């Protein structure tokens, strides 16, 4: 089933900061009331080591076929 079926949703690029794997596009339904921490966002130009220590980290669970997020929780607040 196409993720647009679950609209309204927001598309995000999720990056795995615990490994060197590429990130994935995931789809977050609005009913999860998720907003990205704008004070500590992921900075692509800074590399994974910097981001691992300075950005807010989330645990994301999503469906394998359509990458529809089923749960998202903040596990560590970013630092300046």
- pTM for this model (two decimals): 0.74
pLDDT one-digit tens code per residue, 42-52: 888 888 888 88
Going by C-beta distance under 8 Å and a sequence separation of 6 or more, which residues neighbour residue 11? Answer: 25, 26, 27, 28
- Domains contained in the chain, number: 1
In DSSP notation, 2-49 reads -GGGG-SEEEEEE--TTSS---EEEEEEGGG-----TTS---GGGHHH
Identify the domain containing residue 40 by its residue range: 3-76
- Per-residue model confidence as pLDDT tens digits over 12-61: 988 876 666 677 899 999 999 999 888 888 888 888 888 888 888 899 99
The values of phi and psi at residue 36, to 5°, are -75, 140
């Amino acid at each position: 089933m196409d993720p647009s079926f679950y609209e309204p949703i927001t598309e995000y690029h999720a990056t795995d900061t615990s490994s060197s794997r590429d990130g994935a596009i995931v789809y977050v339904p609005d009913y999860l009331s998720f907003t990205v921490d704008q004070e500590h966002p992921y900075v692509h130009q800074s590399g994974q080591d910097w981001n691992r220590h300075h950005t807010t980290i989330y645990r994301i669970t999503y469906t394998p076929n359509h990458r529809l997020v089923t749960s998202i929780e903040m596990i560590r607040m970013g630092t300046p």
